[in-house]
Amino acid sequence: MGIFSRDKSSQSSAELATRHSRGWSDVRAHLNETSGLRVLDFGATSPANINFLTSLGHGVYMSNLVLEATAPEWLQPLPEGAKTEVARELDVERFIAANLDFSGRDFDVVLLWDTANYLPPEVVPALFARLRAVLRPGGRLLAFFQSRTTGPETVFSRYQLTEGDDLLVLESGGFPVRKVYQTRQVEKLLEAFSNMRFFLGKDNVREVIATR
């Protein structure tokens, strides 16, 4: 088993609510049935999630891409002679190479949650391509997709794992939703996976399990 965290955040989380998740129910059953899996969990470092997963005999690795994407070091350089207020996009290739480098590790389960909604849109296709590349054959990716850009349910949160079908939702920073992805856009992002299953929550958040 291993624990590997790429989260540099020292932010504390405040409890918001619980969320019933059919996607988590499916993944939880898989985690309970199989031992020795490698799990990649996105979001602020969560001792509770680490303890939960390691108690089941799995290795845990963490990455907080949303926080990392706010760092100015990943922005494209300004064109020569440009004013400093000119908007700059992320250098996608450099960002992905640095922040999704797992030193040769591959994974059986990726818990992406709703990370994609809070990233610059130019990063998202490369994110899913990279996650497919580091998933083992038959590996599962669980992703949530917000349906709105504003509202209390769109607060950026850490999803804390439980033994039941509900997730504990913990506020994890003031990051805005950057883009909403419709079903066809999600299907396009995941088209390289062998199959995908959609679950629609009562808050219209789409949950997707994609299999490598």
Report the CATH superfamily, name and number, of domain 3-211: Vaccinia Virus protein VP39 (3.40.50.150)
Find all residues with CB under 8 Å of 102, minimum gap 6, and list them.
4, 40, 61, 134
pLDDT of residue 64: 95
State how far the Cα of 122 lies from the Cα of 11, in Å rounded to an integer.
26
pLDDT of residue 88: 78
pLDDT of residue 203: 78
pLDDT of residue 13: 44
Copy the structure tokens of residue 199: 């679950």
pLDDT of residue 159: 96
Q: Where are the domains of the chain?
A: 3-211
Question: What confidence tens digit (pLDDT) does each residue in 110-141 have?
Answer: 999 999 999 999 999 999 999 999 999 999 99
pLDDT of residue 12: 42
Which ranges of the chain have pLDDT less than 70?
1-16, 81-86
